[in-house]
Amino acid sequence: MSFLELRSVTKRYGAVAALDGVDLTVAAGSRTAVVGPSGSGKTTLLRVVAGFEAPDAGGVTLEGEVLADARGAVPAHRRGIGVVAQDGALFPHLTIAENIGFGLERGDPGRAARIAELMAMVGLETAMLRRRPDELSGGQQQRVALARALARRPRLMLLDEPFSALDTGLRASTRKAVADLLSGAGIATILVTHDQAEALSFADQVAVMREGRLSQVGTPRELYLRPRDAMIAEFLGEAIILPARIAGGWAECALGRVGVDDRELSGAAEIMLRPEQVSLTPVPEGWAADAEPTPLGEVVDTDFAGAACTVVVALRGGGATPPLLLRRSSLEIPAVGTLVRLAVAGTAHVFRG
């Protein structure tokens, strides 16, 4: 039995199928990230699990308990599920202590201690308890929202883009702190995010949504290295997609002969490489071509961006192949016009049509 199971869940708004027969399972204590284009149904999925919406068809079970099916739905406050929204949605007129304690019994003698414990869990100073939300930074407010959601000891935590309002550095550190906290507490989590790097680093399982359906579900590594199609490939990072002829586990393509991850397929197909698989070495003056043909290219553009600068390379004899967009550190950017040799590390992924 899975911890959380969605079976053929459908949710319509008029003519729009926001969810169209979604099957998803989430293991106890695991972290799932849901990504997909705007309007693909990610928030609706969370709302159905939380109990803010009832599915039109299909069912949701948590630890074997039916939360929603054709017969009805358990109300949101009886599901034991915590929710943190994009803006934290704190009550602006209440103090931090009152916000965190909102779902706790007023007369409970252990209330103050529990609030202090939750503050410590999310790494906030108890001195902040008397402040109001607008006296805290965005990252601190998100931690308070998390503490409030943790207060009732949820079985499952739903995070709807909780880090999107934070700047890059704070976002990464808050995400790490939240991930460690939820894992430490053994709470299964579903995170909705627009940020592919966030999805890949946060989750054990990534689910890609498209038009109300799950296009692919797998580990971050599977989805990044073996996406089912070009849309998923490009959704999860930069991709070099080339036409190729495949035979015996090798592809002939604009980058020469490249090993592929599909030994059975033969014939024409598209292959995918991640930019970090392609290395470039400037060709020295007076260099004579090897007996072994080496793919060559010319640097036609560069863009400085610190640790991950862009180097655009037009392939020599690449025909209609668009220039390759590669990433290099600030120490390794060749000048525009440099002739470079290209080499591929690892295998290319073949899209099976």
Residues lying near ligand ATP in the complex (CB under 6 A) are found at 13, 16, 18, 36, 38-44
CB of 86 to ligand ATP, least distance (A): 9
Q: What is the 3-state secondary structure (H, E, C) of the chain?
A: CCCEEEEEEEEEECCEEEEEEEEEEECCCCEEEEECCCCCCHHHHHHHHHCCCCCCEEEEEECCEEEEECCEECCHHHCCEEEECCCCCCCCCCCHHHHHHHHCCCCCCCHHHHHHHHHHHCCCCHHHHHCCHHHCCHHHHHHHHHHHHHCCCCCEEEEECCCCCCCHHHHHHHHHHHHHHHHHCCCEEEEECCCHHHHHHHCCEEEEEECCEEEEEECHHHHHHCCCCHHHHHHCCCCEEEEEEEECCEEEECCEEEEECCCCCCEEEEEEECHHHEEEEECCCCCCCCCCCCCEEEEEEEECCCCCEEEEEEECCCCCCCCEEEEECHHHCCCCCCEEEEEECCCEEEECC
Minimum distance, C-beta of residue 160 to ligand ATP, in the bound complex (Å): 8
Least distance CB 214 / ligand ATP (angstroms) = 12
- Residue 204 or 211 with smaller CB distance to ligand ATP: 211
In the bound state with ligand ATP, the residue whose beta carbon lies nearer, of 145 and 260, is 145
Compare residues 44 and 205 and give the one whose CB is closer to ligand ATP: 44
The full length of the chain comes to 353
Residue whose CB is less far from ligand ATP, 18 or 24: 18
* In the complex, minimum distance from the CB of residue 24 to ligand ATP, in angstroms, rounded to a whole number: 14
Find where tokens 């990534």 sit.
206
Q: To the nearest whole angstrom, how small is the minimum distance from the Cβ of residue 210 to ligand ATP?
A: 10
At its nearest, how many Å lie between ligand ATP and the CB of residue 235?
12
Backbone torsion region of residue 338, taken as left when φ is above 0, otherwise alpha when ψ lies between -120 and 50, otherwise beta: beta
Identify which of residues 8 and 330 has a Cβ nearer to ligand ATP in the complex.
8
- Closer residue to ligand ATP in complex, CB, 60/311: 60
- Closest contact distance (angstroms) between CB of 43 and ligand ATP is 3
Nearer to ligand ATP (CB atom), residue 194 or residue 221: 194
In the complex, the smallest distance separating the C-beta of residue 240 from ligand ATP, rounded to whole angstroms, is 27
Whether the Cβ atoms of residue 348 and residue 261 lie closer than 8 Å to each other: yes
Residue (31 or 47) nearer to ligand ATP, CB: 47
What is the sign, positive or negative, of the torsion defined by CA atoms of 295, 298, 303, 306?
A: positive
| Pairing between β-strand 57-62 and β-strand 65-69 as defined by DSSP bridges | antiparallel
Smallest separation, CB 165 to ligand ATP (Å): 14
Which one, 23 or 135, has the nearer CB to ligand ATP? 23
